[in-house]
């Protein structure tokens, strides 16, 4: 009788163990699939600051001045599309900004010759001005998601920049040449170019609310190699004067840009 009771107990406990294991197997949570929260279109706004080393002006083979150290703000927007693959991301982005990144080479010694292509009689002093008025970038982004809501990315692409090269004339001894003292005179001493170059950058983007993200990035822009400016128009003084500005070439240095912005994701 004792052996029968013992055998029955063993069978019962074994059956209970099998049932409990089966029940646990059924209730074990399934692996959570990776949910794509970054795939889709997005649009947003950005603002920042840009600066560069001195832009050299040459007249013939002679260095005649440096266009200051360009610096200033920019503001604009961006649109793009992301594809998320697990914790990797690739995307394309188009952005555009208005800019006021300007550098002016002062003339502390009141030099009246050999600046910005000036080759006339010494009756005025001149300054060299380089100004970025706006730019656009078409880039590809490559990113990594260390956490579901955090993106670290790099970008590379093409830049288009609108740049003014100007001369500011300060009326000198005779006062017969040049526009209003200290004021760039449109059409007299400003040339504009549309430069094409390369851009690359690094950034971090963070989701802060459902479909809203914020980002910060550092970019480098090389807007072509430079521009040859032909300032031949001549003066506008009361007595007039001969054309007294010759061709000069401005060599552009890489432009550094720090941007911060916000995006809204349409998904």
Mean pLDDT, 10 residues at a time, over the chain (267 residues)? 49 49 52 69 98 73 64 97 96 98 64 48 60 96 97 97 75 45 50 89 96 97 72 45 56 91 95
| pTM, two decimal places | 0.73
Please name which of 242, 226, 239 lies closest in space to residue 63, comparing C-alpha atoms.
226
b/e per residue 209-238 (b: at least 16 CB within 10 A): eeeebebebebebbbbebbebebeebbbbe
As a whole number of angstroms, the distance between CA 85 and CA 89 comes to 6
DSSP lists the bridge partners of residue 98 as 75, 134
Give the pLDDT score at 13.
Answer: 46
* pLDDT the model gives residue 192: 80
CATH of domain 40-266: 2.40.160.20
DSSP-derived 3-state class of residue 12: helix
* pLDDT confidence of residue 64: 57
Whole-Å CA distances, 177 to 77, 111, 128, 182, 252: 43, 16, 17, 13, 29
Is 53 exposed, middle or buried, given 0-12, 13-18 or 19+ CB atoms closer than 10 A? Answer: middle
pLDDT at 40: 96
């Amino acid at each position: 009788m004792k052996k029968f009771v013992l055998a029955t107990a063993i069978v019962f406990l074994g059956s209970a163990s099998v049932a409990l294991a089966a029940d646990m197997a059924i209730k074990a949570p399934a692996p959570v699939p990776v949910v794509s929260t970054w795939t889709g279109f997005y649009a947003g706004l950005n603002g920042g600051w840009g600066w560069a080393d001195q832009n050299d002006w040459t007249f013939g083979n002679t260095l005649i001045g440096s266009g200051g150290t360009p610096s200033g703000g920019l503001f604009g927007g961006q649109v793009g599309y992301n594809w998320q693959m697990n914790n990797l991301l690739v995307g394309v982005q188009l952005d555009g900004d208005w800019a006021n990144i300007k550098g002016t080479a002062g003339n502390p010694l009141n030099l009246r010759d050999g600046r910005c292509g000036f080759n006339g009689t010494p009756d005025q002093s001149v300054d060299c001005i380089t100004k970025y008025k706006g730019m656009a970038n078409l880039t590809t982004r490559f990113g990594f998601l260390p956490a579901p809501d955090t993106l670290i990315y790099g970008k590379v692409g093409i830049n288009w920049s609108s740049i003014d090269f100007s001369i500011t004339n300060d009326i000198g001894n005779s006062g017969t040449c040049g526009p209003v003292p200290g004021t760039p005179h449109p059409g007299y001493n400003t040339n504009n170019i549309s430069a094409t170059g390369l851009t690359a950058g690094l950034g971090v983007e963070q989701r802060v609310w459902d479909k809203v993200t914020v980002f910060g990035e550092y970019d480098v822009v090389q807007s072509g190699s430079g521009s040859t400016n032909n300032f031949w128009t001549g003066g506008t003084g009361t007595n007039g004067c001969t054309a007294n500005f010759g061709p000069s070439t401005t060599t552009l240095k890489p432009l550094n840009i720090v941007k911060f912005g916000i995006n809204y994701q349409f998904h």
